Structure 1
Amino acid sequence: MEMDRFAHLEVQSSFSFLWGTFTPQGLIREVAALGQKAVAITDVGLHGVVQFYKEAVKAGIQPIVGAKLSIWDASYVTLLATDFKGYGNLCRLLSIAIEGGTTPTNLITKQDLAHWSRGLICLAGGRKSRIRSALTGGRSDAARKALLELKEVLHNPEHLFLILQNHGKSEAEVQEALQVMKSATELASSLEIPVVATNEVTFLQSQDYVLHRALVGIQREHHHRPVHPLSNDTFFLASGQEMMQRVPYPEAIRNTSQIAALCSRFSLPIGMLHPPLFLQAEEASQKLTKLCFREAAKLYKPFPIRYLRQLDHEIEVINQLKMADVFLLSRMVVDFARAKGIRSSIRGSAAGSLVVHLILGGVDPIENHLLFERFMNEARADMPDIDIDFDSERRDEVLRYLMERFPRQTAMVGTILSFKARSAVRLTARALGYPLNEIDRLASCLPWSLRGGDLKAALDELPELRNSPLKKEIPLVELAAKLVRLPYQGSTHLGGVLLTQG
């Protein structure tokens, strides 16, 4: 039966910050409970993709990766990657959309989509689209024009699907949705474009609608953003049977599994290293060896035998792991800092390496009885962790140097901020309209050490919360407890830089 093969293809998790209400782990758990074999994640960014992918693979569920993007007519489309090439193109389009900010706010142009749509499936005509607006208003010619524009632009026009949705709550809303779906299927048929059923999943169960409203309330009250919550509680993770009832078009239900099949070649190379290769391994090894001996001649006169043996051993390990490039790159960065008078120091396990001592500085590991094996050994194939601290006031100069030196191979490391107990209570109370002085009174009673866990249990068990005023605010506490550990904002690591192959 079609309903048994249904797959949700528009799903916004909590990584659509302050909008979606569930984690990738929660999503996969519920998808498995429904017996569905595939599911997509389509946030406004890709922050949750790795977590989602790992959880899906572990559960034996096919992960489909995509994102929502705003195009030239201010419509939203959902793009799904059919393979790793498509994923790269999706990343490129998101980079275009996010350029100059921290969220995807720029419109994707026709030229952008034409150039970067290979390996992508496009779902169009959803809730916030010109196509849906035109169909709702009875303007089929405008909907046809918008759909043809997309079809002409896409690299694979056969990968364009027209969305059918039914988010009606009242009888009148349901009838309107059914009429729009009828018009949409007629239009799609005339243009030979397949239809697909989606539910724009934003919460796992309908009762989580209140949590969605609270998150949007935080956007409005705390961040002063002009956003509105979804209109009702129908945007949940429906079963195939429920979707068949809401979207009574078997072809649209069946096409969700067809799209899943098109995306079945996609996989993420998680755990594989892609270091920047500036030199061939043999050339890099020779260069590193010469550099070490040159620096040793400056520091030690003569070079002790035990130091020579240790250096030979370390270089042998570095060559076995093909990591010479990493050390040369680190030296390049330190050379820049020294030339600019920027102070730096080595810390962590890297201080146990004689090679690091010779080419980057730091303490003498042999004199201080430090172990190289804590830093690198033949049994560990992961990247060596060379921690270099730079003067905090001039760190940006080093980052800028790397960005300019390797513009196509460098990116800053992102960080994700999540709700803690205090922030969850404070922001939830604000979204619910509590007075500011009352918010301060309620949130300040929570200890800073309360990082997560069960907020309600903490109120019952921690002695310092025995007389907390929060005990009288049960609805607030229950809502805030659901926010704890949910991500709410993306940021940039102060000094983390990723270099990879161009």
Structure 2
Amino acid sequence: MKFSPQLNVRTEYNFQESLIRIKDYISFAKKHDFSFVFYAENKSMFGVADFYNQAKKNNLKPIIGLAIDNPETNKTTLLYAKNKTGFQNLSFLSSWLMENNLTNFDQEFFDVFNQAISDTFLISEDDQIVEKYGAIVHQLFIPKISYLTSDEYENFIVLSAIKNNLTLKEISNVQDEHYFSDEEMQNKNPIDQKQQISQIAEACNFNLFDNSGQYHIANFKTPDNLPINIYLKQLCEEALLKYFNESKTFIEQTDYLKRLTYELSVIDKMGFNNYFLIVWDYVKFAKSQDIIVGPGRGSSAGSLVAFLLEITQIDPIKYNLLFERFLNPERATMPDIDIDFQDDRREEVVEYLFNKYGAHNVAMISTFQTIGAKSAIRDVARAYDINLEIVNAITKNIDLNYQNDLKSAVANNAQLKQYQTEYPELFEAANTLIGLPRQTSTHAAGVVLSDVDLRTILPIKIGFNGIYQTQFDMNFLETLGLIKMDILGLRNLTTLQLIQNNILRSRQIKIKLENIDLNLPEVFKTLNAGDTSGIFQLESPGMTNLIKKMEVNSIEDISIASALFRPGPQEMIEEFIERKKGKKQNYLIDQTLKDILNPTFGIIVYQEQVIQILGLVANFSFAKSDIVRRAMGKKDYKYMESMKTEFISQAIKNNYSPENANTIWDWIEKFASYGFNKSHSIAYSYISYWLAYFKTKYPSEFYAALLSGVIGNETKMTQYLNEAKRKDIIVKSPNVANMSFNYNSSQKLLFLPLTTIKGIGNEFIRKLREAYQNDKNLFSSIFYFTTKMLNNGLNKNLFKALIWSGAFDEFKYSRQTLDENIDQIFSFAEFNKNTKIIDEKLVPILEVQKDVPTVVSAKEKEYLGFYVSTHPITTIKAENKDLKAVGIDFIKENQGFTRIIGEIQNIKIFKDKNQNDMAFIEVGDETDTISVTIFASLFEQMNELIKLNSILAMDVKMQKYKNTISASLIKIVKVLK
């Protein structure tokens, strides 16, 4: 059967309207000997770059266009770009369409449309367009092609049902005509359009990615119009002089001056002065607004220029970091300075750029959320009207590892195989949907700043906060000459800001991160004791264990631990620790490498070490060494073979024996792919250290900040609150008079905010604040409070939550008393809600009831998710001393058999390799929580006892596996609740 190109092909980027993936479209075109292919999405141009790229790679001529379906008639108009100007016109038109809700072809639309049609072919079946532009319109038959062949019709029906939120029984009028029909069918059309289509394709000629090597980056305006290279040099020289003058230790100035001269020359030669100044400017803005900026991220911490501009806080010479790892003069790539900002204020930095450089010169970057296996099953199941319980049972069996591969999920799961047998249409249709884009999203960090209107380069769309987004994703920006700047939000920086604010409020001490002593023994003592929860990078069990075994005593040690604790390098951990503790010596492969490798005890930990060794042994430049390192990491064997020959030859000239040269090369090659970026590792270790410093010196303020970041996460809140209590910090219940959104602290006190109470949100607290501003007597009595808040969101459910969380304790009634008198209190409030002055004589006398500790604990757990007053297990342990149970915090430090009393906080049931049920349960007491494994044979015997919130005495076996302490259940001794 013979097919020919069609004009109106809709692809996956017309979300939920097409089954045609671009790669399948290209394959189809090649199979049927097309020489050109058309591409036009409705209103958007999301897939244009991807389509153009794939077509070119497959020797097909891409014809780029834009489709506009009339919202009133659904008739299609197509515009195809004849040249680059035509593409730019379409880019402007698409950008306008994506910003404006097109309901009809009104005058505003035609004003924009008129500008777009020059340098394009106009093809339409729409009467309005034909009537208005008759002389230049190619009036052809242009059916929408939404699937490639007729046998995909049923799946297209399902897609249409999903798009319109209908079942298959409800959907109608979906015609079977949205596929490539053979030429015989096409020739039955009133107009034989094949020749005209070929003429259009022949006349459309431009290279989307031809930017003539030009970078589009915003222009930074220097004072007095100084040349940007001169201004950058001035800034750096002034900063270096200041650094010399303020340094408290000896600095070899020659090294810094030489390095600065070199870096500036490379930056200038590669044309990136402007880039550095732009980054310097927005970092400076953030700091001026007290937005915390990270000490560095990625390879940019290896730049002295970045350090002097205070883009980073890491002296690269002090830590032996390499500029070439960041910017390589022998490899023409764009610089990549990634900056972390506290995540709750990152948007302020983006808005600053938006306002400074202009709305159409700044854009976030679009990403595309694709349909995964679970959501595909759910979507299709709704269309087939399959029972939700069955759907839940199916999706429960789809492992997260198979989110993009349903066929493999089925192959590895017997239950899924059975479900596929029962519901073949469901699985077949779901497989066709997996991987299709569902909608656009926003790249977490990427921003582009252009010196020209972005719409002359690519189409854009309106995004978050009115800031535009590129319609193309990040993979095609550099080819178009756009430099992506990563402006990231990091939660740990927000935590650091909260800690500083807490200390200032509670102790009137202002601490600057850059002034913190990085060599305090007590801070390393905290880490080496395994007290790492809440510490950036270090709080996982495996990492905690490594820190303890390493006995870290410097920033460099923290950095090494972070670099080693990854797949690959982990195999060297035990060897590293033995060498560090002096148990193994004489480990250097060659004594000439001692300056490079002694800091890591002869083990290559960092990429920078690979670069340095290549430079030392073979006299390769650092720039060339970095290229060789990359080739090793990517396993580019052809290039590596040629480099090995050159390396050996150069090493022999450099007085190494052939045997040693070969040994060193093989050894480097083995560890090159393991090596981590030292610049990044050192920079992030600063954040780890700062958090450990605050945890050591200001624990109350530390925990207040840490807990503020996990409100709503009961597991984390319980963990951190228990830790705080173990450090003799007194945890105070929420208080209705404490109207903070976050946790607060004061010396050894920690105050829970109202937001920790289930059902209490920020809006209620805002109303509470407003009521207090209007009436300072608000908290004079429970009756007055209830009366005044009755019209401000207070109801009986919230009242009950406030009682049992302890928020009304300050009114000096027991919680039980208030609970039993809710109706009386609300009746009084209702009667007096319009009274300005309440007669105290009318306030009823409440019958006092005593609180029962176990009831209070249970209610706190119900309304807060954790215990504040008395943990029930403390009481239960006291009542069951004969069981001789120990705290979970104790057993985590010991291996072997032991007994605990704990509450089951979470249960996860899995299938073992024999398809039998086993479980992982999270068990907590007043000291800590631990994961306990229950193997299938035991779980089968006692699964009825394993219930959420039940309290059990149990014997467990503690053991170490892959540097992690874990527990497995031996037996349940007693059910205590």
TM above 0.5, yes or no, is yes
Cα distance in structure 2, aligned partners of 1:161 and 1:475: 42
Cα distance in structure 2, aligned partners of 1:500 and 1:442: 48
User: CA 1:364–1:20 in 2, change beyond 3 Å: closer, same or farther?
Assistant: same
Residue 15 of structure 1, CA deviation: 0.7
Amino acid at match of 1:353: S
Q: 1:291 maps to what in 2?
A: 235
Cα distance in structure 1, aligned partners of 2:415 and 2:337: 43
Q: Is 2:430 the counterpart of 1:480?
A: yes
Residue 347 of structure 1, CA deviation: 0.4
Q: 1:335 maps to what in 2?
A: 284
Write the mapping of 1:81-230 to structure 2, written as runs, cut at 5 A: 81-99=81-99, 109-125=109-125, 129=126, 131=127, 147-151=130-134, 158=136, 160-164=137-141, 198-221=142-165
User: CA 1:229–1:265 in 2, change beyond 3 Å: closer, same or farther?
Assistant: farther
Cα distance in structure 1, aligned partners of 2:171 and 2:330: 54
Q: 1:420 maps to what in 2?
A: 372
Cα distance in structure 1, aligned partners of 2:415 and 2:234: 64
Residue 83 of structure 1, CA deviation: 1.1
Q: In 1, are the aligned partners of 2:3 and 2:181 still within 8 Å (CA)?
A: no
SS at match of 2:139: strand
SS at match of 1:416: strand
Q: Is 2:372 the counterpart of 1:430?
A: no
Please list the CA deviations of residues 286-316 of structure 1 after superposition, one character each: whole Å capped at 9, or x if unmatched. Answer: 1111111112122223772111111111111
Q: In 1, are the aligned partners of 2:3 and 2:32 still within 8 Å (CA)?
A: no
Residue 480 of structure 1, CA deviation: 0.8
Q: In 2, are the aligned partners of 1:97 and 1:105 still within 8 Å (CA)?
A: no
Please list the CA deviations of residues 130-172 of structure 1 after superposition, one character each: whole Å capped at 9, or x if unmatched. Answer: x3xxxxxxxxxxxxx6522134xxxxx53x21122xxxxxxxx
Residue 501 of structure 1, CA deviation: 2.5
Q: Is 2:276 the counterpart of 1:276?
A: no
Residue 264 of structure 1, CA deviation: 2.5
User: CA 1:230–1:88 in 2, change beyond 3 Å: closer, same or farther?
Assistant: farther
SS at match of 1:69: strand
User: CA 1:491–1:230 in 2, change beyond 3 Å: closer, same or farther?
Assistant: farther
Q: 1:175 maps to what in 2?
A: none
Q: In 2, are the aligned partners of 1:21 and 1:212 still within 8 Å (CA)?
A: yes
Aligned residues: 435
Please list the CA deviations of residues 157-202 of structure 1 after superposition, one character each: whole Å capped at 9, or x if unmatched. Answer: 53x21122xxxxxxxxxxxxxxxxxxxxxxxxxxxxxxxxx33211
Residue 341 of structure 1, CA deviation: 1.2
Q: RCO higher in 1 or 2 (8 Å CA, sep ≥ 6)?
A: 1
Unaligned runs of 5+ in 2: 246-250, 453-977
Q: 2:886 maps to what in 1?
A: none
SS at match of 1:109: helix
Q: 1:447 maps to what in 2?
A: 399
RMSD value, Cα? 2.8
Amino acid at match of 1:147: V
User: CA 1:467–1:73 in 2, change beyond 3 Å: closer, same or farther?
Assistant: closer
Q: In 2, are the aligned partners of 1:417 and 1:490 still within 8 Å (CA)?
A: yes
SS at match of 1:14: coil
User: CA 1:100–1:406 in 2, change beyond 3 Å: closer, same or farther?
Assistant: farther
Residue 485 of structure 1, CA deviation: 1.4
Cα distance in structure 1, aligned partners of 2:2 and 2:390: 50
Unaligned runs of 5+ in 1: 132-144, 152-156, 165-197
* Structure with greater Cα Rg: 2
User: CA 1:35–1:290 in 2, change beyond 3 Å: closer, same or farther?
Assistant: same
SS at match of 1:163: coil
Q: In 2, are the aligned partners of 1:14 and 1:21 still within 8 Å (CA)?
A: yes
Q: In 2, are the aligned partners of 1:96 and 1:106 still within 8 Å (CA)?
A: no
Q: 1:404 maps to what in 2?
A: 355
User: CA 1:467–1:202 in 2, change beyond 3 Å: closer, same or farther?
Assistant: closer
Scaled by the length of structure 1, what TM-score is found?
0.80
Cα distance in structure 2, aligned partners of 1:344 and 1:105: 45
Residue 276 of structure 1, CA deviation: 1.9
Cα distance in structure 1, aligned partners of 2:346 and 2:213: 29
Residue 27 of structure 1, CA deviation: 0.4
Residue 349 of structure 1, CA deviation: 1.0
Residue 319 of structure 1, CA deviation: 1.3
Cα distance in structure 1, aligned partners of 2:172 and 2:22: 21
User: CA 1:399–1:229 in 2, change beyond 3 Å: closer, same or farther?
Assistant: farther
Amino acid at match of 1:324: N
Cα distance in structure 1, aligned partners of 2:444 and 2:67: 28
User: CA 1:71–1:293 in 2, change beyond 3 Å: closer, same or farther?
Assistant: farther
Cα distance in structure 1, aligned partners of 2:427 and 2:64: 34
Write the mapping of 1:232-247 to structure 2, written as runs, cut at 5 A: 232-244=175-187, 246-247=188-189
Q: In 2, are the aligned partners of 1:5 and 1:37 still within 8 Å (CA)?
A: no
Q: 2:52 maps to what in 1?
A: 53
Q: In 2, are the aligned partners of 1:78 and 1:122 still within 8 Å (CA)?
A: yes
Residue 472 of structure 1, CA deviation: 2.8
- Worse overlay, 391-400 or 235-244: 235-244
Residue 414 of structure 1, CA deviation: 0.4
Residue 326 of structure 1, CA deviation: 0.6
Please list the CA deviations of residues 224-253 of structure 1 after superposition, one character each: whole Å capped at 9, or x if unmatched. Answer: 9xx978722221123444422x42533x22
- Worse overlay, 306-315 or 462-471: 462-471
Moved beyond 6 Å, runs of 4+: 227-230
- Worse overlay, 46-55 or 4-13: 4-13
Q: 1:490 maps to what in 2?
A: 440
Cα distance in structure 1, aligned partners of 2:368 and 2:423: 29
Residue 426 of structure 1, CA deviation: 1.7
Q: In 1, are the aligned partners of 2:13 and 2:437 still within 8 Å (CA)?
A: yes
1:369 pairs with one of 298, 320, 336: 320
SS at match of 2:80: strand
Q: 2:496 maps to what in 1?
A: none
- Worse overlay, 292-301 or 382-391: 292-301
Cα distance in structure 1, aligned partners of 2:173 and 2:207: 31
User: CA 1:274–1:465 in 2, change beyond 3 Å: closer, same or farther?
Assistant: farther
Q: In 2, are the aligned partners of 1:83 and 1:265 still within 8 Å (CA)?
A: yes
Scaled by the length of structure 2, what TM-score is found?
0.42
Cα distance in structure 2, aligned partners of 1:229 and 1:356: 62
Residue 112 of structure 1, CA deviation: 1.0
